[in-house]
Structure 1
Amino acid sequence: MAIIYKILPEALWQAAQRSGSFAGAAIDLTDGYIHFSTAGQAVETARRHFHGQRELLLVAFEAEALGDALRWEPSRGGDLFPHLYAVLDPALALWVKPLPWAGGQHDFPEGWTA
């Protein structure tokens, strides 16, 4: 079971839960797909795209549950990143954890291994 992660502001996730769907953050809407990261990519994603941001969440999903709309495409440095070309059902989340900003970096959950 491949687990992938979405980093996003808590307010966006709360709105998605209320509406029952998530079309993406601003960058996702601009790019035409919802950006995800693997465990090995999430720390760098947080550093590059969310540096200094507070009130973020780390949301885990089973990749297979997202179906054929999930594509693995080359991005930074040729790494394959998961991109979802569909609206996301927040009910598919395996878990949601806070991603606090502390000591000049985001503090990933205890036991996080990249």
Structure 2
Amino acid sequence: MLATSEWERARGAGHFTGTAMDHQDGYIHLSGADQVVETARRVFGGVTGLTLLTVDPARLGDELRWEPSRGGALFPHLYGVLPVSAVVAAEALPADRPAADAVAALLG
């Protein structure tokens, strides 16, 4: 998930270089399908103007690594830029619902 404005800039550039948090940690934070609702709740609570990206991990190569994170669960971390060509779907989340609820409805 990222701000819709960031997704629009990434589409124009052909890649996404990450958020301030990603730059601080040294990789782009991603979530698996079974993790994204909780990520939306914890990280994006109260945030509007988001787009949920679905990424094909096969298009990321060796720069994608599954590493322990929240509660020891393995999370996908991308050590490089996210090419727009790896994004197979982009869904703008409705602004009138909490991000976690909107993501759950999309995945449901």
| TM-score over 0.5 for the pair | yes
State the percentage of identical aligned residues: 45
The whole-number CA distance in structure 2 between the counterparts of 1:35 and 1:111 is 20
Aligned match for 1:67, one of 43, 58, 61? 61
Cα-to-partner distance string for 1:26-68 (whole Å, 9 max, x where unaligned): 1111110001001110011011111011010000011121000
**1:32 has 2:26 as partner:** yes
Q: 1:9 to 1:89 in 2, by over 3 A?
A: same
RMSD (Å) for aligned C-alpha atoms = 1.5
Q: 1:97 to 1:111 in 2, by over 3 A?
A: closer
Q: Distance in 1 between matches of 2:17 and 2:7?
A: 11
**One-letter amino acid of the counterpart of residue 29, structure 1:** H
For each residue in 1:68-112, what CA deviation from the matched residue of structure 2 results, as whole angstroms up to 9, or x when unmatched?
000000000000000000111112210100122445x22126461
One-letter identity of the residue aligned with 2:48:
R
1:17 matched to which residue of 2?
11
**Aligned counterpart, 2:103:** 108
Unaligned runs of 5+ in 2: none
The question of whether the paired residues in 2 share the 8 Å contact of 1:59 and 1:97 is answered with yes
SS at the partner of 2:7? Answer: helix
Question: Which ranges of structure 1 fall in alignment gaps of 5 or more residues?
Answer: 1-6
**Secondary structure of 2:42 counterpart:** helix
Structure 1 49/109 Cα, relative in aligned 2: closer, same or farther at 3 Å?
closer
Give yes or no for the alignment of 1:97 onto 2:91.
Answer: yes
- How far 1:15 moved relative to its partner? 0.6
Query: What TM-score comes out, normalization by structure 2 length?
Result: 0.90
TM-score (norm 1): 0.86
One-letter amino acid matched to 1:93: V
